[in-house]
């Protein structure tokens, strides 16, 4: 199976203050190992779309399948389990637990999933911290490292359960150009060498231009 994500006929409405259609018949497929950027003007519906794709928002028309599982219609409990096992999230603001160590932050989603022993999880976390060049900072509180390092810790946390898909909402929105390049290169490596699929909403034209494919949203529709 070569399709990582399939979205069909997605329509989404907001009803406050007035009824407003934010997504209009959105459909596309993303292949396994593809690195895709979602771009578009502010208000075009990018974040709303990512919320649907990431299974956080279930109030829509249409259907979404991830890695061959139709997630549309699953219960909140099923979705929560599915997300934990299959999707990694990287946001503009990393939402690390400031008072917890770097290592604990990375280990947490795997401890929550409860499939592996603490020793195995710690070994995997250390492997990721090494790959992301944060080795040596693992016992520091998350609040005591730089912004670029924090974002790399957030990526390690997103990767700990070896998700098939990584979704980013402005994953480099808060970073300088040097750290943006580091994060971009990590994503590209994950896509092209590990076969993980990356879908990132971005306002950064250079970031988008270097992805495998750009999905452009205009007024809730896909243009290209």
Ligand X SMILES: Nc1ncnc2c1ncn2[C@@H]1O[C@H](COP(=O)(O)OP(=O)(O)OP(=O)(O)O)[C@@H](O)[C@H]1O
The closest alpha carbon to 126, from 146, 103, 108, belongs to: 103
Q: How far is the CB of 15 from ligand X (least distance, A)?
A: 8
Q: Are 197 and 32 in contact (CB under 8 A)?
A: yes
What is the nearest approach in angstroms of ligand X to the Cβ of residue 59? 10
**Contact with ligand X (CB under 6 A): which of 4, 30, 37, 48?**
48
Extract long-range pairs of 92-98: CB within 8 Å, 24+ residues apart: 92/169, 92/170, 92/171, 92/173, 92/174, 93/174, 94/150, 94/151, 94/153, 94/154, 95/154, 96/142, 96/143, 96/150, 96/153, 96/154, 96/157, 97/142, 98/141, 98/142, 98/143
Under the binding rule (CB under 6 A), the answer on residue 210 touching ligand X is no
Binding to ligand X by residue 43, rule CB under 6 A?
yes
Nearer to ligand X, 40 or 109 (CB): 40
Please, which residue, 47 or 84, has the CB nearer to ligand X?
Answer: 47
Q: Which residue in 33, 37, 46, 105 binds ligand X (CB under 6 A)?
A: 46
Q: Residue from 44, 92, 150, 197 that binds ligand X (CB under 6 A)?
A: 44
C-beta of residue 128 within 8 angstroms of C-beta of residue 97: no
Q: Which stretch binds ligand X (CB under 6 A): 38-46, 118-126, 137-145, 189-197?
A: 38-46
For 146, what's the count of Cα atoms within 13 Å in the CB-facing half-sphere?
A: 7
Residue 16 in the binding site for ligand X (CB under 6 A): yes
Among residues 30, 33, 45, 55, the one that binds ligand X under rule CB under 6 A: 45
Q: Which residues of 192-222 are buried (b: 16+ CB within 10 A; e: fewer)?
A: eeeebbbbbbbebeebbebbeebbbbeebeb
Using CB under 6 A as the binding rule, whether residue 92 contacts ligand X is answered as: no
Does 14 sit near ligand X (CB under 6 A)? yes
User: Which region, judged by CB under 6 A, interacts with ligand X, from 36-44, 86-94, 156-164, 182-190?
Assistant: 36-44
Cβ 193 to ligand X, closest distance in Å? Answer: 30
Residues that bind ligand X (CB under 6 A): 14, 16, 22, 40, 42-48
């Amino acid at each position: 199976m070569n399709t990582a994500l399939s979205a069909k006929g997605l329509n989404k409405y907001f009803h406050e203050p007035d009824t407003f259609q934010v997504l209009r018949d959105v459909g596309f497929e993303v292949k396994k190992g593809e690195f895709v950027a979602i771009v578009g003007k502010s208000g075009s519906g990018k974040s709303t779309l990512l919320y649907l794709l990431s299974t956080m928002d279930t109030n829509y028309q249409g259907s979404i399948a991830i890695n061959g599982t139709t997630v549309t219609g699953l219960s909140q409990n099923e979705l929560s389990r599915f997300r934990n096992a299959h999707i990694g999230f990287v946001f503009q603001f990393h939402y690390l637990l400031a008072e917890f160590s770097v290592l604990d932050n990375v280990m947490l989603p795997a401890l929550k999933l409860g499939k592996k022993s603490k020793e195995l999880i710690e070994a995997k976390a250390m492997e990721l911290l090494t790959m992301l060049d944060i080795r040596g900072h693992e016992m520091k509180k998350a609040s005591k490292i730089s912004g670029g390092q924090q974002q790399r810790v957030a990526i390690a946390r997103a990767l700990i359960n070896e998700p098939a898909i990584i979704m980013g909402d402005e994953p480099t929105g808060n970073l300088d150009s040097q750290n943006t390049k580091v994060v971009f290169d990590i994503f590209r490596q994950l896509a092209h060498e590990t076969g993980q699929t990356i879908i990132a909403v971005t306002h950064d034209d250079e970031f988008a231009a270097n992805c495998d494919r750009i999905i452009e949203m205009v007024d809730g529709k896909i243009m290209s």
